[in-house]
Structure 1
Amino acid sequence: MKRTSIRRVIVPGIAAMTLALAGCAAGNETDSGSTGSDGDSASSDVTVEGQYTIGGASSQEAAQLAWTTGFSDVQPGATVTYEPVGSGGGRENFISGAYLTAGSDAYLVDEAPDNELTAATERCEGEAPIEVPNYVSPIAIIFNVDGVDELNLSPETLAGIFAGEITEWNDPAIEADNPDADLPSATINPVHRSDESGTTENFTNYLSVAAGDTWTEGAVETWPQAFGGEGAQGTSGVVSAVTDGQNAIGYADASQAGDLPAANIGVGSDFVEPSAEAAANILAVSPAAEDAGENQLVFDLDYTTDEADTYPIVLTSYMIACPTYPEQADADFVKAYLSYVLSEEGQQFGADEAGVAPLAPELEEQALAIVDTITAG
C-alpha cells in the first residue's frame, strides 16, 4: 500500500505522561504461571496479574473495551486499560516503550521522517515487530441530511464531496447515484478527523485508489486543510459532529456510528451497505502486503474489487508487539492478551459487544500461530 502519510504525532495529554507510562510498563507486577524449560512463556495456562495500560487506534475503542473486560474474566488478576489515543499515538508509544502492545489502523512502514518499522525493530532489540490483524470493520460513511434516510454514493461522488468539489446535496452527481431520493437544496457539511488518524489514512487510501482523478492527495493520516470541511477529534467527535450537525456527512468506524444512517458504496454495478460480513469479505480478495516478514500478517486491500457483497472501505486493524520481551511477566501478558483477542471466544465477544467482524478461521489460526511465538529472553 503506497501511502503519503506524516506520522509525527502530538497526542493531547499523552506526551507528558509517556515517560511515566514507560516506567509503569517496565514495572507492571505480574505473577506468571508455569514456563517452559527454556524460559519461554507457557501457553494458555499462564496466570497473568497486574495493571496494564495499552492504547492506540480510537476506532478500536469499543472492541477493546469488550476485550479488556473479557480478558479480566479469564484472567481475574489482570486489569487492562486501553487508551484511544489514535493509531499514530499508539505506534509512537509502542516504539518509545510506553506500551507493551498497541493497536493501529495501519501497519508499520518505513517512510520519512519517522521510519516507524525500523524504529519498532530497534525497540524490539533488533527483531522485526509482530503485526497481526485483530479487527475488521467497515468505515461507515455516516450522514444526517434533511429528508434523506438512504444514500448511495459512487467512489467518484464520495471523493468529490470530501475533496470539496461537490458542495450541494442536490448536485447532479449525487442525484445520479440516487434517482429516487428527495435531495435537499442545501450545503454539504463534510466532517473529518482533526487528529492524526488511521481511520483517515484508510479512508483516504481508498479514495486515492478508487477515485484518484478526484482525490489527489493520496493516503494521509492528517486531513488536508485545502479540502476544508469541519474537523472533529477522534471517532466519537466525528459521530457527535454529524449527529448534531445539519446536512452533515462524515466517516467513522461502523461499530461506533450509533443510530446514524450510513451510505451504500458503489462496488461494480451495485451499491453495498457497510455490514460486518461485507467488510470481512475484502480480506479474502486482497493480497498480503509486499515485503511483509514472517511476523507481519498485513494486507494491501483491493479497493477496486467488483466482488459481490464486498464493502471496500474498511479498517483492518492490527496489534503490534515484540517477539521477545526482556521480562517474562511482560511476555506472558502480551501473549495471553493477544491470544485472548484472537481466540474464537474473544473474536465472538468483540462481535457481540462491539459489532466487529470476526476474523476468518484460517486468518485467526495464522495470527495465533505468530502470537504463540512471543517469548522472554
Structure 2
Amino acid sequence: MRFQRRAAAIGLIAAGALLFSACGSDNNSGGGSAPQAAGVTCGGKQALKASGSTAQANAITGFVNTFEQTCNGQTVNYTASGSGAGVNDFTGGQTDFAGSDSALTAAQTPAAQQRCASTPLNLPMVFGPIAVAYNVAGVTDLALDGPTLAKVFNGTVKTWNDPAIVALNPGKNLPAAPIVVNFRSDNSGTTQNFQNYLNAASNNAYGKPAAQTFNGGVGAGAKGSQGVTDATKSTPNSIAYIEASFAQKAQLPTASIINAGGGQPVPLSTDNLGKAIDAVKVTGQGNDLTLDLTSIYKTTTPGAYPISLATYEIVCTKYADPQTGTAVKAFLQTALSPQAQGTLTQGGYVPIPDAFKQRLSTSVNAIS
C-alpha cells in the first residue's frame, strides 16, 4: 500500500503552519477543551494505562483530551518513559497498550503474543519529523546530508570544520572545535529510526546496527528526548537527533538536510516531510500495519525532508479482559477522529492521510 499524495496534501493543508508554531514537552497539558468526537463506541474500562514513546507524548495528550470529552468518565494515563520501557511494560502486563517509535521486533513479538494470548498489532498512529539539532555559536543555517551525518554519528568526522561539512556549507564560519554528539541513553525507537536513516542514506557507511540503543560509539548519552534536548542546549559545539517539537520548544537550530536526490538542502517542516511520505509501504500482514520507512530515508523528491518516524500503538487483537479491549478500541477510534487529528497541529505532527486512515480504522475496529 502506498500513501496517496492527494490525501497527504489534504492532511497537510489542514495542519496549516504546523511545526514552526508548535512547541511541546512530555508534560504538555495540551490546553483548552477538545470537542467531542463522533463515531466512537464508548465503554469498557474507565482508566486505561499506557506508557512508551516520548515522541508521541504531545499527540497522546490531544487524543486523551478528546477521549475524555467524548467518552464521559473514561481516560488514559500515559507515561512518556521511552519506547523500550513502554514495550517492556506492555509485554509484562503492566499496561494496556504501548507507545513505540518502532514496531515490535522479531525478538519482542513472542513476549507480546504471550501477553495478549492473541496476535499483537502495530498501529502507526502518529507521524513526525526527527530534527538534527545543534549548538554552534554563530551558525544558524547548517546543511548536512546522509553520508556526512553517518560519519558524524559514528565518530569518523570529528570537528565542525571537517572538509566534509565545509563542502556542504561554503562561506560559513565553522569552528575547529570537536563535535560533541548527544544521544539517547535509554532504549528509544527514535534512536532506531535515526540509525535506520543513517544506514539507508549513507549506503551503510554508518556501519552500525540500527537498534533502540545508540551504537555509534561516540558522544554522551542523556535519558529521554528532554534530556538530550537539555544536553544540547547547554553544551557548545554539540549535535543531536531529537523529535522536532523538542527542538522547537528549546529554540535550537536544526540542520537542513540534502536528501538522496542531491540538490538544495531541505529545511525541516511538516510540509517538506509530507513530500516524502508518498511511497511508504505497509509490510505487516492483515490488521498489523508495520511500515517500511526506507522510501522516506532514501527519497529523491525535491524539497522532501528525509528523516522521520512513525510512532505506533502496540495493542492486542483480542484482550483477555473484554472491558479493556472495548476501551482501547474506543480510545483509538477517538484518536482517528477529525477532532483528535486536529490537535496534532499543536505538537508538530502530520495528520494521518485520509487514505491510510481507512486502513487504520479497519484494524482498530477489529480490536476486542
Give me the TM-score of the superposition, normalised by structure 1. Answer: 0.82
Corresponding residue of 2:4: none
Looking at structure 2, the residues matched to 331 and 196 of structure 1 have their Cα atoms a distance apart, in angstroms, of 27
Corresponding residue of 1:276: 270
List per-residue Cα deviations over 1:151-187 (Å, max 9, x = no partner).
1001111111111111111111111111132212222
Looking at structure 2, the residues matched to 345 and 369 of structure 1 have their Cα atoms a distance apart, in angstroms, of 19
Q: Which has the higher contact order (CA 8 A, sep 6+)?
A: 2
Contact 1:47 1:75 in 2 (8 A): yes
Could you tell me which of 99, 123, 127 is aligned with 1:103? 99
One-letter amino acid of the counterpart of residue 241, structure 2: Y
| Unaligned ranges ≥5, structure 1 | 1-42
Looking at structure 2, the residues matched to 328 and 213 of structure 1 have their Cα atoms a distance apart, in angstroms, of 46
Looking at structure 2, the residues matched to 316 and 213 of structure 1 have their Cα atoms a distance apart, in angstroms, of 22
| CA 117–361 in structure 1, closer or farther in 2 if over 3 Å, else same | same
Corresponding residue of 1:243: 233
Deviation, structure 1 residue 337: 0.7
Could you tell me which of 222, 247, 254 is aligned with 2:244? 254
Larger radius of gyration: 1
Looking at structure 2, the residues matched to 142 and 308 of structure 1 have their Cα atoms a distance apart, in angstroms, of 22
| Unaligned ranges ≥5, structure 2 | 1-38
Contact 1:155 1:266 in 2 (8 A): yes
Corresponding residue of 1:26: none
Contact 2:44 2:324 in 1 (8 A): no
Deviation, structure 1 residue 141: 0.2
Deviation, structure 1 residue 335: 0.4
- Indicate the SS of the match to 1:52: strand
Tell me, yes or no, if structure 1 residue 206 matches structure 2 residue 197. yes
Corresponding residue of 1:20: none
Corresponding residue of 1:85: 81
One-letter amino acid of the counterpart of residue 229, structure 2: V
Q: Which moved more, 1:64-73 or 1:317-326?
A: 64-73
- Indicate the SS of the match to 2:327: helix
Contact 2:119 2:318 in 1 (8 A): no
Corresponding residue of 1:50: 46
Q: Percent identity?
A: 35
Looking at structure 1, the residues matched to 57 and 70 of structure 2 have their Cα atoms a distance apart, in angstroms, of 20
One-letter amino acid of the counterpart of residue 360, structure 1: P
Deviation, structure 1 residue 201: 0.3
- Indicate the SS of the match to 2:49: strand
List per-residue Cα deviations over 1:228-266 (Å, max 9, x = no partner).
201110000011111111111101010221211110111
Deviation, structure 1 residue 70: 2.5
Deviation, structure 1 residue 210: 1.3
Looking at structure 2, the residues matched to 119 and 180 of structure 1 have their Cα atoms a distance apart, in angstroms, of 54
Tell me, yes or no, if structure 1 residue 120 matches structure 2 residue 116. no
One-letter amino acid of the counterpart of residue 312, structure 1: P
Looking at structure 1, the residues matched to 183 and 121 of structure 2 have their Cα atoms a distance apart, in angstroms, of 30
Corresponding residue of 1:18: none
- Indicate the SS of the match to 1:53: strand
Tell me, yes or no, if structure 1 residue 231 matches structure 2 residue 227. no
Contact 1:163 1:214 in 2 (8 A): no
List per-residue Cα deviations over 1:69-126 (Å, max 9, x = no partner).
232222231232211121111112111221111111111121xxxx21222222221x
Looking at structure 1, the residues matched to 252 and 60 of structure 2 have their Cα atoms a distance apart, in angstroms, of 22
Contact 1:67 1:341 in 2 (8 A): yes
Contact 1:129 1:295 in 2 (8 A): no
Contact 1:137 1:280 in 2 (8 A): no
Corresponding residue of 2:13: none
- Indicate the SS of the match to 1:58: coil
- Indicate the SS of the match to 2:56: helix
Deviation, structure 1 residue 49: 6.0
List per-residue Cα deviations over 1:325-370 (Å, max 9, x = no partner).
222321121001111112222111122x211110111111110111
Looking at structure 2, the residues matched to 76 and 261 of structure 1 have their Cα atoms a distance apart, in angstroms, of 42
Tell me, yes or no, if structure 1 residue 346 matches structure 2 residue 340. yes
Corresponding residue of 2:25: none
One-letter amino acid of the counterpart of residue 91, structure 1: V
Give me the TM-score of the superposition, normalised by structure 2. Answer: 0.84
Looking at structure 1, the residues matched to 243 and 168 of structure 2 have their Cα atoms a distance apart, in angstroms, of 23
1:1-377 superposed matches below 5 A: 44-47=40-43, 50-110=46-106, 115-125=107-117, 127-224=118-215, 227-257=217-247, 258=249, 259-267=251-259, 268=261, 269-289=263-283, 292-301=284-293, 302=295, 303-351=297-345, 353-375=346-368
Q: CA RMSD in A?
A: 1.6
Contact 1:143 1:262 in 2 (8 A): yes
One-letter amino acid of the counterpart of residue 73, structure 2: G
Contact 2:44 2:325 in 1 (8 A): no
One-letter amino acid of the counterpart of residue 109, structure 2: L
